[in-house]
Amino acid sequence: MEKLKLGNFDLCKIVESVSPAFELNFLLPDADTDTVEANRSWLYPNYIDPKTDILMISFHSYLLRTGKYTILIDSCVGNHKDRPAFPEMHNLNTDYLQKLKTAGVSPDEIDFVMCTHMHPDHVGWNTQLEDGLWVPTFPNARYLFGKTEYDSWLHYHKEIAGTEADSIPEVASSSLRLSFEDSVLPVIAAGQAEMIEGGFELEDGVSVEDAAGHSPGNFIFKLESAGSRATVSGDVLHHPLQLVRPDWSSGFCSDPQLSAVTRRRVLEETASSGAILMPAHFPTPSWGQIEASDDGFRLITQ
């Protein structure tokens, strides 16, 4: 289990799955194979599968223990979730909670769940199935959701319904709608959600910043303890290739142009501050400091 000591903070990566998941141009529509070839020495085999040339993707959470709070950052896909459009997320049955236990934490010890955004692979373990109902997995946690993000998905659902009614109708649609229904709304119904905005500070050294583009209300989390810094960047970038080409947005970005602008800004700030970049989907090595290189950035891993 990979761990990181950040000043007085302890971070641990809780991996749900890692596998060859996406074809190059499915995840990164603008990508070209010349760039892949030019970076082959460090991309293979950790970040691109040598057998298939398919991009390796990790689904993981970061467990953050500050001394004051135990915080789960992003909650992966979850078990038994109906995601027919995405086989790699559909009806999983993983040992994620056992891995959390191995890291020394039981579900009732999580104080806060912080979601960078509301895509299905970042909210899944918010809930689990109990007697046919989706209930919060972490009974004592406050779940911090972005208000802009929540409002936009709520609006999207109402558009699908063709009504302004507050209830979300059961119509077959996308994984986004399904995850909103089974991994976000039950948390709100249980009274465990809090809506926050960019600038929110949970405690000294744990703060929230706006990073819209990948999704309408996307967040990053800035961590700082005893002079050490980290940027938990969620899906501001999905794959290490985007360090080399920050202008390549993913096919999952709601606003690809804004996503590219945000990506470059976050990477420039992270590089200049000496913070450790902690993305949501890089397989091992999943994090490191970054430095400017040519027109992009280079990941420094020890």
Nearest distance in Å: CB 117, Zn ion: 8
Span near Zn ion by CB under 5 A; candidates 22-30, 82-90, 199-207, 230-238: 230-238
Span near Zn ion by CB under 5 A; candidates 176-184, 185-193, 234-242, 289-297: 234-242
**Is position 149 an interface residue for Zn ion (rule: CB under 5 A)?**
no
Q: Which is nearer to Zn ion, 15 or 65 (CB)?
A: 15
Q: Are 70 and 109 in contact (CB under 8 A)?
A: yes
> How far is 189 from 203, CA to CA, in rounded Å?
26
Q: Are 118 and 195 in contact (CB under 8 A)?
A: no
Span near Zn ion by CB under 5 A; candidates 98-106, 187-195, 206-214, 232-240: 232-240
Span near Zn ion by CB under 5 A; candidates 11-19, 34-42, 113-121, 192-200: 113-121
Nearest distance in Å: CB 250, Zn ion: 9
Best CA proximity match to 120, nearest among 61, 179, 177, 193:
179
Beta bridge partners of 129: 134
The dihedral of CA 138, 143, 145, 150: what is its sign?
positive
Q: Which is nearer to Zn ion, 150 or 225 (CB)?
A: 150
Instruction: Give the up-direction half-sphere exposure of residue 45: CA atoms within 13 A in the CB hemisphere.
Output: 5
Instruction: Give the up-direction half-sphere exposure of residue 294: CA atoms within 13 A in the CB hemisphere.
Output: 10
**Is position 16 an interface residue for Zn ion (rule: CB under 5 A)?**
no
**Is position 235 an interface residue for Zn ion (rule: CB under 5 A)?**
yes
Q: Which is nearer to Zn ion, 214 or 298 (CB)?
A: 214
> How far is 234 from 254, CA to CA, in rounded Å?
15
- What the block records as the tokens of 294 is 């040519």
Q: Which is nearer to Zn ion, 64 or 253 (CB)?
A: 253
Q: Which is nearer to Zn ion, 58 or 66 (CB)?
A: 58
Site for Zn ion in 164-193 (CB under 5 A): none
Task: Calculate the CA 262 to chain-centre distance.
Answer: 16
**Is position 121 an interface residue for Zn ion (rule: CB under 5 A)?**
yes
Nearest distance in Å: CB 122, Zn ion: 6
Sequence-separated (6 or more) residues with CB below 8 Å from residue 104: none
Binding stretches for Zn ion (CB under 5 A): 121, 235
